[in-house]
């Protein structure tokens, strides 16, 4: 029933709604479930101007506020403007690669899946991969980081909250100059023995092989825990990593 008392409630409700809208408009109201990024990948430098024929390097950087141990993603580039000359993946962060970084200049892609075996994982800022490009065409182009994932050093392979990657922008000018040269990187060979598929590589028990199992394994590599000794040779090493990866 509409009564004088209920009539007095209408302006009160209007005042409450108005105050709520004012809080949102002023930026005072903060959603309680917003997630703060705990790790980030980005490319440095973020902006540069070069000329056709230039050879230059960029760094794929990681910032981690919490301990992490696995890094995965793809760098996309325009092959009509840039071509990869070489990559150096023996950097300050990653010391073990489940899949060695590889690139296809025709497709304009560079893929990587690697991690660190250092006790406690990695925390801080460091270089994951150094990429050497050569400019082959004029135009404004971007280096895009796609599908970036960083996993926590928690024994569970947990995804770490990450910020959205920002493209690195390069302007390649028409003027042709003498080609610069750089010293060829020291040759490094990684030998990984490939073994047949074995059981019990599903380390987190979710019924599938995934990057989460890799994150769990990275904590125990070089340990004496025979749970992770897939080939039963008494050691937990790169051979067991290869078995884990072949089971994916």
Q: What torsion, rounded to 10 degrees, do the Cα atoms 123, 129, 135, 137 define?
A: -80
In-domain check, residue 33: no
Where b means 16+ CB within 10 Å and e means fewer, 10-27 reads eeeeeeeeeeeeeeeeee
pLDDT in tens, 175-220: 643 444 334 444 333 333 333 345 468 888 888 888 888 888 888 8
pLDDT on residue 36? 65
Regarding whether 162 and 47 lie in a shared domain, the answer is yes
Domain check: are 55 and 166 in the same one?
yes
Total domains in the chain come to 2
Q: State which of 134, 150, 176 marks the end of a domain.
A: 176
202 in a domain, yes or no? Answer: yes
Domain membership flag for residue 248: yes
My answer on whether 108 and 164 are in the same domain is yes
Mark whether 52 and 165 lie in a shared domain: yes
Range of the domain at 95: 39-176
Which of 16-25, 93-102, 188-197 has the highest mean predicted lDDT (pLDDT)? 93-102
Burial tier of 200 (Cβ tally within 10 Å: 0-12, 13-18, 19+):
exposed
Report, as an integer, the average pLDDT of 28-37: 46
Domain stop point among 176, 202, 227: 176
The contacts of residue 192 (CB under 8 Å, 6+ apart) are 238, 239, 241, 242
Task: Give the global pTM.
Answer: 0.66
Look at residue 195 and tell me if it is in a domain: yes
Phi, psi (5° rounding) for residue 227? -60, -25
* 132, 56 Cβ separation under 8 angstroms: yes
Q: Please tell me whether residues 227 and 113 are part of one structural domain.
A: no
Q: List pLDDT tens digits, range 44-84.
A: 999 899 999 999 999 999 999 999 999 999 999 999 999 99
- In CATH, what number is assigned to the domain containing residue 128? 2.60.40.680
Final residue belonging to a domain, choices 148, 176, 204: 176
Asked if residue 175 lies in contact with residue 51, where contact means CB atoms within 8 angstroms, the answer is: yes
């Amino acid at each position: 029933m509409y009564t004088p008392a209920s009539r007095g409630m209408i302006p009160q409700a209007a005042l409450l709604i108005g105050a709520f809208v004012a809080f949102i408009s002023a930026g005072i109201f903060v959603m309680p479930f917003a997630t703060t990024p705990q790790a980030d990948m980005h490319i440095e430098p973020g902006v540069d101007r070069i000329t056709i024929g230039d050879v230059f390097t960029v760094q794929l950087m990681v910032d981690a506020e919490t301990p992490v141990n696995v890094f995965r993603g793809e760098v996309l580039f325009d092959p009509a403007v840039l071509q990869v000359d070489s990559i150096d993946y023996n950097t300050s962060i990653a010391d073990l690669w489940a899949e060695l970084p590889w690139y296809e200049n025709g497709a304009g892609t560079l893929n990587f899946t690697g991690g660190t075996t250092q006790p406690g994982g990695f925390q801080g800022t460091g270089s994951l991969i150094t990429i050497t490009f050569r400019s082959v065409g004029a135009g404004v182009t971007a280096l895009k980081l796609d599908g970036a994932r960083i996993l926590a050093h928690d024994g569970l392979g947990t995804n770490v909250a990450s910020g959205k990657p920002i493209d690195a922008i390069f302007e390649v000018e028409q003027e042709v100059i003498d080609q610069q040269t750089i010293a060829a990187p020291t040759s490094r060979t990684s030998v990984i023995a490939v073994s047949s598929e074995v059981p019990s590589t599903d380390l987190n028990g979710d019924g599938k092989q995934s990057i989460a199992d890799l994150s769990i394994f990275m904590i125990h590599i070089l340990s004496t825990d025979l749970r992770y000794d897939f080939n039963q040779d008494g050691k937990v090493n790169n051979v067991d990593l290869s078995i884990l990866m072949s089971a994916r």
